[in-house]
Chains A and B, each alone.
Chain A
Amino acid sequence: MQTSPTCTVAAALLAALATPALAQDLLVKAGRVVVAPGTTLENSALLVRDGKIAYVGKDIPAEARARARTVDLGDHTVSAGFVLAATTLDADADLGEGALAFTPDLRVAEAFDAWGKRLEHLAPHGVTSFGLTPSPRNVAGGIGILAKPGKDRGRVAEADAFVGFSLVRAARSQERDPTSLMGARAMLREAFDAARTGAEVGPDLAVLRQVMSGARRAVVYADTFAELNAALALGAQFNFAPVIIGGSEASKVVDKLAERSAGVVLGTMSPTNRIADLELPGKLAAAGVPFCFAGQPAQMRVSAALAVRHGLPREAAHAALTRTPATMLGRQAEVGSLRQGCSADFVVFDGDLLDLSARHVATWVDGVHVHGQSHSHSSKHSKASR
């Protein structure tokens, strides 16, 4: 429909060429390799095998190094690709079951459009994986996924990543129950209660049981003071640490978030935000609350830079783009860093990506180049900022 048949065929062929089975090992050399926030290797390399990081730096065996195809990124900096912790890719209609508010067992994976147009806006801004959540219009929306953009089409990396809940106004204004915050809270409380005490439970309550046992992560859309209190209270009562999405009034509950080990997915920031909002990431970091940015993919790096400008340490800002969101979704072993065994998802910048003077050069997903320059010669533009 959106793509002509020839395109599709061509894309399929390309995809086939990129399949791991046929792929040669890839040696990615760069001036700086940021393996994880705070761990940077100078003049180092990554060995990519089957779309994963096989070896990092000195660990690369000489014979593998010799056999691999080399991509020399010059003096550029390589970092793990950004992880967008929560998004609906503007597909709310497909990700929220309109007639019912409580649908914890619906699966987002079944509504994932691998060819969706919105996927094209991720890699150009450095996003290499994202949590696709159910719509915030449902109190219990369903099971979210970890997905990735690709060269031509996206793919589901983990179909069973987390459960999405919502207490925000959108969940309460749909001309069906609940219409109030107390109604939404009661709905969730009763369901969790039933899941805890009931002998035999259906598939929906089974999902809640997994949340209580810690087998499944819970993300909760909550914005206002009252909603945040509600999300935290629910977590405290049923023994789980929620990841809160939104949190526009999170500054009022910083201590409580720390106490309950809850994380916050903040909206991406723009320079016109109030100073208090721009300073919130720094406050959360100081209190030890994990946080990251989600919203407009294009604004992720700007948000981090703004936060650094307003008091956030660089390392924490880098973590907020990569490792923290991966950890929030329980996928830190697969994405969010360039450690051995992780997906070869990385972004290439010609400087520190937290300085806006650095330019985004390329994005690679699963060891495949998807955006920007495919391989670099030594950059002729030198940073003369000092």
Chain B
Amino acid sequence: MQSLRSRIVPALLATWMLSASGPNAQEPSAEKPNAQPERSESGNESSPSPQQEPRRGRRRAGARRRGLMVIEAGVVPPVSGPPIEDGVVVIRGERILAVGRQGELQLPPNTEVLQFPEGHVYPGLVDASTDAFTDAGLQKDGSLNGGSAISEALVWTGDRDDMLTEHGVTTAYINVRSSAQLRGQGAVVRPMRGGFELWEDREQAALQLRMAVGSGAQHPLQRQAQLTATGKLFDGLEEYRDGLEKFEKDLEKYNEEFEKYLDHHRKKSGKADKKPEEGEAKAAEEPKPSSESPPAEGRRRGRGPGGRRRPGGGGRDERAADPDTDRAAMEQTLATLLALLANEAEDAAGSQGSLRSSAPVARIEQDPAPQSKPPQGKPPQGKPPQGKESKDDKKKSDGPKRPKYPKKPRNDPQKDALAKVIDGAIPLRIEAHRVEELRAALRLQRDNDVPQIVLEQAYAAGLVADEIAEQGATVVLTNVMPNALGDAGDKRNPFAKFDLTKLPKQLEDAGVPFAIASGRARLASVLPLMGAAAVGGGISAEAALRAMTLTPAEILGVAEDTGSLTREKYADVLVTNGPLFASDTRVLLVLSKGRKEFERQ
């Protein structure tokens, strides 16, 4: 049926071809050098490294040499527009160059053309919720918190659950269903045949919150109490951020005052200005604690030994040991130096006093040694150098006091993540099932001005669709299959009455954007059936397709690069031998960024 052969097109645009395979062809990879595949056994290594060392990849060379790839097929629904009969998709490197009707596009000669006369070409599917690349330990890890980054614990096991590409999934959002309330930050990945790569800047793509109450709470009031407790999620965030801000301000003030203090002593000591300068430079490059350190610590906590370290247990000491200690130690050395300088100046002033002053110097030299070790993050206070200094100040001058180093608030990765949510950097994804849970989620958004929330599962969303639409929330549906929640006649099952196949239609009517996702890696092969079931529930096939491609791409914030067959997007392409939603349709070819990830023999 599908002939797969090379075709020679008359040499009409040889020059164009030259330019296409010439420097221009490298353009995409030059733009996004990071996007090169990095296949490795473990997820940690596959996160894009900040430095771009030259890659030994034969793929890179191949991608450059390949130049153009053309796919012709009977039907091409690009999702971003109406379906194209006898369409053609032109791919250059890892991006789509053009999408159109066959014959409309002029092809350079010697172009490899993959022909699927009966086939359908879709954008690669975007699975907005899956547990692929996670191991059982992570899935059940109840100690996850808002600061945990799922991306750092991903593994490639190579079992069938991880084979997303062979079912056409080229982008996936990974989250886990642990029993924790805040379940870490999910990651957007690009699955591939031998592993996956993290989507740059989307390693921490959303914060996962579980609004669904546990099975223990049977009574509605009991459930309500739990939900109210969840509503206090953002409590204390304001204070935390104020604290951080205050610290930054204090730090600035401290630097200024310290500068003044130094100046005073420089003037006093006159000639000795080299060493204080050094100290000044150090003080200037002191890290800004709020901006850089939190992610680093979040990482450490998420991946700590065994991943089971209690927050605030051993970690606290480790944190305390970092910048504060350094700063304190440095300060002390500085103070000692200053004292020495002051003594020197005194000596210079009157050489006769040398006998008198030799005793204090000796004391100063002795004392700092034991003090420099256990400073516990506090600036030295009442210590001999300072004591002497202040005594000198009182006695000899009324210059500025030595400023006190401001108290640094404890870093809280979870609060940092919540702050990102409040700032709109990442959405808050809330798993909620019942009506009251969904309402609680919406209330949480209203009360705290959360810019973006995504509701997950949302079985009862049909009943509150209008409220969801009003607040501009989006929904990620899983289990979109007939009787997915049990037999409708089962009275004991509170969810059995929800027909999830009808849910897409209800959301569509209310104007709520929704994605249809597998929810579990094992269900990747069933994803098209879920789309079909949604069509059976009343939406159009186009809408169902959109719910598995462009809408999830938008929800994940990657719609600029994937989700439809559009010029300049990644060449994420799924070729099937029939309509995607027919049960017996088989995947023929899957391209991810223009690479063949799966091909049916």
Contact = CB atoms under 8 A, between A and B. Distances in A.
| A and B, direct touch (CB closer than 8 Å) | yes
Interface of A: 120-121, 271-272, 274-275, 278, 296, 298-299, 301-302, 305-306, 308-310, 313-314, 317, 352, 354-359, 381, 383-386
A305 B488 contact: no
Nearest to B163: A275
A383 B487 CA distance: 27
Contacts of A308: 583-584
B303 interface: no
B482 A298 contact: yes
A90 to B, nearest CB: 10
Contacts of A310: 525
Given A310-B525, A357-B535, 6 more contacts: A120-B489, A301-B482, A302-B482, A314-B584, A357-B581, A383-B535
A121 B490 CA distance: 11
A295 B525 CA distance: 23
Nearest to B586: A311
B487 A296 contact: yes
Contacts of B481: 271, 302, 356
B532 A356 contact: yes
Contacts of A356: 481-482, 501, 529, 532-533, 535-536, 581, 583
Interface in B542-601: 542, 578-584
A310 B584 CA distance: 8
B522 A355 contact: no
A358 B528 CA distance: 14
Contact of B541 (A274, A302, A309, A357): A357
A302 B583 contact: no
Nearest to B585: A309
A358 B529 CA distance: 11
A385 B582 CA distance: 8
Contact of B581 (A271, A275, A355): A355
Contact of A302 (B483, B525, B538): B483
Interface string B48-64: 00000000000000000
A305 B529 contact: yes
Contact of B584 (A272, A296, A301, A313): A313
Contacts of B584: 308-309, 313-314, 354
Contacts, number: 89
Contact of A357 (B160, B520, B533): B533
B526 A355 contact: no
For the complex of A and B, list the 10 residue pairs with the smallest distance between their C-beta atoms, beginning with the closest.
A357-B535, A356-B532, A308-B583, A385-B541, A357-B532, A356-B533, A271-B526, A298-B483, A386-B579, A305-B583
A313 B583 CA distance: 10
B121 interface: no
B582 A355 contact: yes
A314 B584 CA distance: 7
B328 interface: no
B583 A354 contact: yes
B91 interface: no
Contacts of A121: 487, 489
B523 interface: yes
- The SS class assigned to the A binding surface is loop
Contacts of B581: 355-357, 385
Contact of B532 (A296, A355, A381): A355
Contact of B536 (A120, A271, A306, A357): A357
Contact of A298 (B488, B526, B578): B488
Q: Which range contains the number of B residues in contact with the other chain?
A: 20 to 34
Contacts of B120: 386
Nearest to A278: B525
B213 interface: no
Nearest to A314: B584
B75 interface: yes
Contacts of A306: 526, 529
B271 to A, nearest CB: 80
B487 A271 contact: no
25 contacts: A271-B484, A271-B523, A271-B526, A298-B488, A305-B529, A309-B525, A309-B526, A309-B529, A309-B583, A309-B584, A314-B583, A317-B583, A355-B532, A356-B481, A356-B529, A356-B532, A356-B533, A356-B536, A356-B581, A357-B533, A357-B535, A359-B536, A381-B538, A385-B582, A386-B541
B541 to A, nearest CB: 4
B483 A385 contact: no
B540 interface: yes
Interface of B: 75, 120, 160, 481-484, 487-489, 501, 520, 522-523, 525-526, 528-529, 532-533, 535-536, 538, 540-542, 578-584
B541 A383 contact: yes
A355 B120 CA distance: 17
Nearest to A386: B579
Given A309-B526, A385-B579, A299 B541 contact: no
Contacts of B540: 384
Nearest to B479: A271
Nearest to A381: B538
A279 to B, nearest CB: 10
Contacts of B501: 356
Nearest to A118: B489
A62 to B, nearest CB: 38
Contacts of B529: 271, 305-306, 309, 356
Contacts of B578: 386
Contacts of A302: 481-483
Nearest to B501: A356
Contacts of A352: 582
Contacts of B482: 298-299, 301-302, 356
A72 to B, nearest CB: 23
Contacts of B160: 275
Nearest to B167: A309
Contact of B542 (A274, A298, A313, A384): A384
Residue in B75, B120, B488, B584 whose Cβ sees the most chain A Cβ within 10 Å: B584
Nearest to B580: A385
Nearest to B542: A384
A354 B533 CA distance: 11
B582 to A, nearest CB: 5
A118 to B, nearest CB: 8
A17 B196 CA distance: 65
Contacts of A309: 525-526, 528-529, 583-584
A385 B536 CA distance: 11
B321 to A, nearest CB: 47
A298 B499 CA distance: 12
Nearest to A310: B525
Contacts of B75: 386
Residue in A271, A278, A354 whose Cβ sees the most chain B Cβ within 10 Å: A271
A278 B522 CA distance: 11
A179 B57 CA distance: 63
A59 to B, nearest CB: 31
B520 A272 contact: yes
Contact of B487 (A298, A385, A386): A298
Contacts of B542: 384
A355 B483 contact: no
Contacts of A386: 75, 120, 541, 578-579
Given A121-B489, A309-B529, A296 B483 contact: yes
A56 B59 CA distance: 61
Contacts of B487: 121, 296, 298
A355 B583 contact: yes
A22 to B, nearest CB: 33
Contacts of A120: 489
A5 to B, nearest CB: 25
B536 A358 contact: yes
A278 to B, nearest CB: 8
A272 B485 CA distance: 12
Contact of A299 (B483, B526, B536, B583): B483
Contacts of A381: 538
Nearest to A305: B583
Residue in B526, B540, B541, B542 whose Cβ sees the most chain A Cβ within 10 Å: B526
